[in-house]
Chains A and B, each alone.
Chain A
Amino acid sequence: MTKIKWPVEPQRPAFARALVALGNTHKDVVVASADVSTSTMTGVFAKHFPERHYNFGIAEQNMISACAGLATTGKVVYASTFAIFGTGRVYDQIRQSVCYPRLNVKLVVTHAGITVGGDGATHQMIEDIALMRALPNMTVIVPADAPETEKAVLAAADHEGPVYIRLGRANVPVCTTSEECQDFEIGKATTMREGSDVTLVGTGIMVAKCIEAAEELEKHNVSARVINLSTIKPLDKRTLIKAARETGAIVTAEEHSVVTGMGAAVALVLAENAHVPMKRVGIPDSFGESGSSDELMQKYGLTVDDIVDGAHDVLKRKK
């Protein structure tokens, strides 16, 4: 089994770096936290620009709507908390206060997904992509690693309207160092590796695993293309349809519920445009539980092996 020796780096310091950079270049950028600024690392921005940081305490509903109010005056507002508290708990505020009036609020959540680990199911947000991509006017980005996080947070500032950026807690393999990954653009998928037999579409921390799976498949003479689908809304339909037509089989991989997550979004595009055998690797329709990140990834079907198995499955169904 191939094991790539990735350098690892958490996404949150990259987020903090980007915020501080924006603080210097964009005078209208303000940041809002909901008590967990030490963990989300918005506290770093607060140290540099105390007058432009608001800590709303454990009151996320108020935070989101207040961010909307700030944005009406021309501020570019970054709001941050854990994914679990920044989405489902405040869905109506995001819908009514932010998305409907299309305001410049950038919601950057951390501690997303099952890899939060020991805190258990109450803190493992695995349906946020589903919630956020259902909202009109929302842009949904799941960066693959720390460098892409920095680029996405910077890009969001110049994007007109609401943006959702999903980050994890743990160390993430740095996999976007190659040439083709350097020009991050919202809405543009990156082909990380060429291939002709099957396409592995990953998002977030699953992108590195897709690359590892492609290397594994190569040993079995399977040529796997790898796409980093960091923007889930709007979807880069062209790249996805092209991959489906050229490779004839698709596997998606996400650290999220398979119920209406990224895989489901891709499936809908393919069903209407390029119908090919497909497999969604992700968390089954269930809640998580306590455990280490690695144990949970194993138990809930988010390993390199799961992606490889998925590829074999779609290859079998490919005529």
Chain B
Amino acid sequence: MTARDKNSELFTRQYTGREAMVEHYSDEKIKELETTARLIRRHIIQMIFDAGSGHPGGSLSATDVMVALYFDIMEHNPDDIKWPDRDRFVLSKGHAAPALYACLAETGYFPVEELKTLRLIGSRLQGHPDMRKTPGVEASTGSEGQGLSMGLGMALAGKLDNKEYITYVMVGDGELNCGQCWEAAMSAAFFKADNLVAIVDRNKLQLDGPTNQIMSIEPLADKWKAFGWDVIEINGHSFPELLDALHKAKETKGIPTVIIADTVKGKGVSFMEGQVGFHGKCPSEEEYNQAMAELGGI
């Protein structure tokens, strides 16, 4: 059973063309996703605290996008992980692995219990995603800049094999400093890879500081447009906006789509929000307790 099937009664399809809102979601459905996102965020804090290291900031900013994909948008099957027609997700910003692992565990790819093993020796949950070790991970990533190209390869294979699956790639905004991202952007448009969707986790911070101070990527939407992509700009923490944009992206024909998701690094934990210091820092015990309290109420 796919995640889509599970939830199919919660919304009705209303395809009325590219420009129109293609899906209507009930308030309950949105609430359910928000609740799931809080659960995923608790897992993230727990995992990084248990491991003693990891990247909370970029995991928390990426959470809502991944929840929208894994718990609603993507057709995938945890019981048949090699299903050839599955939608693919590539986490190009591999340091947000805790968010991905939590989504995979909660959708049934491996036991939730196993999240405790993040970064431990012998674990299937490596510090950065490993497609050979972790069920459900589609690409080994972590060296910034390569995931969009990998996703493009998957999309090209889909075209060649006349398959309808969509490949989603999440890139970080700092990652867009990498030239390879723009090589991929150029060629995806050239190859008319409309089955490729990029999502930029635009949290506006990279390891050394604000992206506009370290290496500015603005004007970001114009850059993607110039490279031949359809650009959708949204609030990356709003499920109605995320779902709407992801459905639109699916329907776009002839060119690839990028969703620039405006996000907050450390989203959901007050003292981590917008703090560059929590890019790759494990919370102290006190911080952990406060974070878990803030994310409570599931």
**Is B174 interfacial (CB 8 A cutoff)?**
no
In the complex, which residues 60-107 of chain B have their Cβ closer than 8 Å to any Cβ of chain A? 84, 90
**Is B212 interfacial (CB 8 A cutoff)?**
no
Which residues of B have CB within 8 Å of A97?
Answer: 140, 146, 149-150
Contact between A65 and B187 (Cβ–Cβ < 8 Å)?
A: no
Supposing A97-B149, A97-B150 touch, asked if A66 and B156 sit within 8 A by C-beta, the answer is yes
- Cα separation A75 to B154 with both chains bound (whole Å): 10
**Is B31 interfacial (CB 8 A cutoff)?**
no
Contact between A61 and B150 (Cβ–Cβ < 8 Å)?
A: no
Which residues of B have CB within 8 Å of A92?
Answer: 143, 146
- Cα separation A67 to B139 with both chains bound (whole Å): 12
**Is B223 interfacial (CB 8 A cutoff)?**
no
Q: Which of B38-46, B110-118, B177-185, B240-248 contacts A (4 or more CB under 8 A)?
A: B177-185
User: Of B151, B160, B161, B180, which is within 8 A of A69 by CB?
Assistant: B151
**Shortest Cβ distance from A60 into B: residue:** B183
Q: Which of A39-47, A51-59, A256-264 contacts B (4 or more CB under 8 A)?
A: A51-59
**Is A290 interfacial (CB 8 A cutoff)?**
no
User: Of B131, B141, B167, B183, which is within 8 A of A62 by CB?
Assistant: B183
Interface 1/0 per residue, B111-140 and A, CB below 8 Å: 000000000000000000011100000111
Contact between A70 and B180 (Cβ–Cβ < 8 Å)?
A: no
**Number of B residues whose C-beta is below 8 Å from A?**
34
Q: Is the interface of A mostly helix, strand, loop or mixed?
A: helix
Which residues of B have CB within 8 Å of A57?
Answer: 186-187
Which residues of A have CB within 8 Å of B184?
Answer: 62, 65-66
**Is B191 interfacial (CB 8 A cutoff)?**
yes
**Is A138 interfacial (CB 8 A cutoff)?**
no
User: Of A59, A61, A73, A96, which is within 8 A of B157 by CB?
Assistant: A73
Contact between B187 and A102 (Cβ–Cβ < 8 Å)?
A: no
Contact between A72 and B153 (Cβ–Cβ < 8 Å)?
A: yes
- Cα separation A70 to B152 with both chains bound (whole Å): 8
**Is B142 interfacial (CB 8 A cutoff)?**
yes
User: In whole Å, how far is B10's beta carbon from the nearest beta carbon of chain A?
Assistant: 31
User: Of B138, B149, B187, which is within 8 A of A72 by CB?
Assistant: B138
User: In whole Å, how far is B74's beta carbon from the nearest beta carbon of chain A?
Assistant: 16
User: In whole Å, how far is B89's beta carbon from the nearest beta carbon of chain A?
Assistant: 12
- Cα separation A317 to B155 with both chains bound (whole Å): 60
Which residues of A have CB within 8 Å of B157?
Answer: 30, 69-70, 72-75
User: In whole Å, how far is A107's beta carbon from the nearest beta carbon of chain B?
Assistant: 14
**Shortest Cβ distance from B150 into A: residue:** A69
Supposing A56-B187, A72-B131, A101-B131 touch, asked if A66 and B149 sit within 8 A by C-beta, the answer is yes
In the complex, which residues 251-279 of chain B have their Cβ closer than 8 Å to any Cβ of chain A? none
Which residues of A have CB within 8 Å of B155?
Answer: 69
From A30, A66, A75, A95, name the one whose CB has the most chain B CB atoms within 10 angstroms. Answer: A66
- Cα separation A234 to B154 with both chains bound (whole Å): 30
Contact between B152 and A96 (Cβ–Cβ < 8 Å)?
A: no
Which residues of B have CB within 8 Å of A51?
Answer: 160
User: Of A52, A67, A69, A73, which is within 8 A of B84 by CB?
Assistant: A73
Which residues of A have CB within 8 Å of B156?
Answer: 54, 66, 69-70
18 contacts between A and B (CB under 8 A): A62-B183, A65-B147, A68-B150, A69-B149, A69-B151, A69-B154, A70-B156, A72-B153, A72-B154, A75-B157, A93-B149, A96-B140, A97-B140, A100-B140, A101-B130, A101-B131, A101-B132, A102-B132
B→A interface (CB under 8 Å): 84, 90, 130-132, 138-143, 145-147, 149-158, 160-161, 167, 179-180, 183-184, 186-187, 191
